[in-house]
Amino acid sequence: MKFKKKRFLTLFLCTLFVLSTWALAADKKAADSPPEGALDGCTVIIVGKDASTDGSVMTTHTCDCGLCDWTWRYIPHGRYKAGTQRKIYHINQFETFPPEKGLKWDVILENFTELELPQEEDSFAYMHGSFGYMNEHQVAIGESTIGTREKMENKTPSAKFDITMLTLLAMERARTAREAIKIMGELGEKYGYGFTDTGEMLALSDPNEVWIFEIMPVGPLWTPKSGKPGAVWCAQRVPDNHVSVCPNESRIGEIDQNNPDYFMFSPNVISCAVDMGFYDPESGEPFNWKKAYSPSEYSASSSGGSRARLWRFFDLVAPSKEFSPDTPNMEFPFSIEPEKKLSVNDVMWMTRDKFDGTPWDPARGLQGGPFANPHFLPYGFTYQEKRYDTARVIGVNRAEYVTITQCRGWLPNPIGGIVWFLFGSQDTSCYMPFYAGVTRIPKSFEVGDHWEFSRYSARWAFDYVDFHTMPLYNLAIQDVREAQKKWETSAVEQTPEIDKKALELYKKNPEEAIAFLTEYCNENADKVIKTWWKLGDDLLVKYNHLWIYDKDSRKRLRLQFPEWYLKLLIEYNKLTPKEEKK
């Protein structure tokens, strides 16, 4: 993209010291509804067990909403009498409520669908935020909205299930990824899927395998009396030695209906597309799921970088393939064998990726400002009635939270499963481990709201640091990296030691192992949160008034601006050099 330097510099100079105000005022429409709406949020990275360095199956979820509820809950194992009913609620994944109205997970009880299902006598323990993430059997989930054709949307109450409710039922009832797929698929078929959601993708994993599961509504005219399925869905298994990604785009292509080890699907998987005119079986072309139900015409290049995550991921994991950014996204493979196996630390840093070294690096030049802030211009913009796209990177700063799940089959379930969790922006936050066996999470995870600052909410500690990193990003991020090295990297490195200790206890008494893991995870999280509150204070002092206050020397140092910025400043403001004394 080319801009007239003077016009862009005007915007830059006026906003350097009021970044947060500008973000709201420059393009209110974009702030309230980002380009392509909800489809712009959530990236899922998938790693098969033979593609990871330690044999774990990994999935991620970057919950890139920007205004959604960020609270988390732990749901304990439940035992119910025969005949107990499980109420089903409509849960809008994007909806939030003022704190005075109550927590989201209390308020949704008002949205009863009038559907009740027989309650399983054993309801498994699990952790959840906007979706279920991992249960006590190491069944794990990552989510990405992929959308579908408008004709398929069903916003009527006839659709009793949305994606959040499906994931909670899967967490409560599934012992494997395949079971989770079957549970969600059958519920969607029988009771209808949609209402607040359109096409959705879930990465379903357990210690042995990982699947991509995609589900779509079947239109607003569906009713249970129709005798037809109320959803259409398909799932494809990622080979154990492969990795894959879902960046808000359908990923399943052609379906091998004779290979149940790698494909699962609803009975209407093809007939629904035929009935709606999305596929002609007489065409001679094989049925292609994504082309039928959720086609995309973009490439990294043609979208101006706004649809470049798919290309970027494949370029990161298989650089020698030299995938072209001109490659249409629909033509990328479903999965690929990485050129080197990925560790959990590799995946953590991949969730922070900002296209460094590519034409769409958001920190480059004027876009990032003099202090190379990759978040300075997070969305595309309109200028003189023309629309300009900016890169939609993997590590955006509007995440509610990010998860990395590890499912590890060589350890008992309470020890084998880990959810690595961070609040807020990936690059300024810190991953914290929570084992599948924990019986509680910090109370500060359960509260908080975008519109009310609170020292009692863990999320605000990380937003506090993020806010004080933004003005002088390339300087302040170095302080953040030091804190991440101390708390995040060390937590990864000591995982084998924690595993060993927990396993020793587990062999003697499983309850002692669970108590040990619960205490370790909660204590570590509490320390990280306290550290981040202090880090925010330290950044405020160190970079106060856009100077550098050196604590050791007790001196105030002047900021050094890059020459390219000073050159443009002189040109635009028509500055003249100071006359030399004769």
Identify the pLDDT of residue 581: 80
Q: Cα(448)–Cα(443) distance, rounded to whole angstroms?
A: 11
Contact between 130 and 143 under an 8 Å Cβ cutoff? The reply is yes
**Which residue from 183, 187, 158, 157 is spatially nearest to 171, judged by alpha carbons?**
183
Q: Cα(269)–Cα(231) distance, rounded to whole angstroms?
A: 9
**Which residue from 63, 44, 74 is spatially nearest to 525, judged by alpha carbons?**
74
Q: What number is the average pLDDT over the span 385-399? A: 92
Q: What number is the average pLDDT over the span 109-136? A: 97
Assign 19 a pLDDT band (cuts: 50, 70, 90). very low
H or E element in which residue 1 lies: none
Query: Mind listing the pLDDT tens digit for each residue in 211-240?
Result: 999 999 999 999 999 999 999 999 999 999
Assign 16 a pLDDT band (cuts: 50, 70, 90). very low
Contact between 46 and 244 under an 8 Å Cβ cutoff? The reply is yes
Burial 16-31 (b: 16+ CB within 10 A, else e): eeeeeebbeebeeeee
Q: Is 309 left (phi over 0), alpha (psi -120 to 50) or beta?
A: alpha
- Chain-centroid distance of CA 103 in Å reads 22
Assign 389 a pLDDT band (cuts: 50, 70, 90). confident
Identify the pLDDT of residue 34: 32
Q: What number is the average pLDDT over the span 443-454? A: 96
For residue 30, pLDDT over 80 is answered with no
Q: Cα(389)–Cα(64) distance, rounded to whole angstroms?
A: 18
pLDDT averaged over every residue in the chain = 92
Assign 24 a pLDDT band (cuts: 50, 70, 90). very low
Burial 100-126 (b: 16+ CB within 10 A, else e): eeebbbebbeeeebebeeebeeebbbb
Identify the pLDDT of residue 6: 46
Which residues does 262 contact at the CB level (< 8 Å), separation at least 6?
Answer: 236, 237, 256
Percent of the chain having pLDDT more than 90? 88
Contact between 105 and 168 under an 8 Å Cβ cutoff? The reply is no
What would the DSSP string read from start to end of 175-242?
SSHHHHHHHHHHHHHHH-B-TT--SEEEEEE-SS-EEEEEEE---TT--GGG-S-S-EEEEEEEPTT-
Identify the pLDDT of residue 31: 31
- Higher-pLDDT residue of 32 and 180 is 180
> What backbone phi and psi angles, to 5 degrees, belong to 122?
-110, 120
State both tokens at 39.
Answer: 């489809």
**Which residue from 217, 215, 132, 212 is spatially nearest to 170, judged by alpha carbons?**
132
Which residues does 441 contact at the CB level (< 8 Å), separation at least 6?
Answer: 72, 73, 74, 127, 434, 521, 522, 525
Identify the pLDDT of residue 14: 41
Contact between 266 and 231 under an 8 Å Cβ cutoff? The reply is yes
Assign 521 a pLDDT band (cuts: 50, 70, 90). very high
Query: Mind listing the pLDDT tens digit for each residue in 236-263?
Result: 999 999 999 999 999 999 999 999 999 9
Q: In three state form, how does the secondary structure of 423-449 look?
A: ECCHHHCCCEEEECCCCCCCHHHCCCE
Side chain identity, residue 328: P
Contact between 252 and 342 under an 8 Å Cβ cutoff? The reply is no
- Chain-centroid distance of CA 554 in Å reads 41
Identify the pLDDT of residue 380: 86
Query: Mind listing the pLDDT tens digit for each residue in 299-352?
Result: 999 999 999 999 999 999 999 999 999 999 999 999 999 999 999 999 999 999
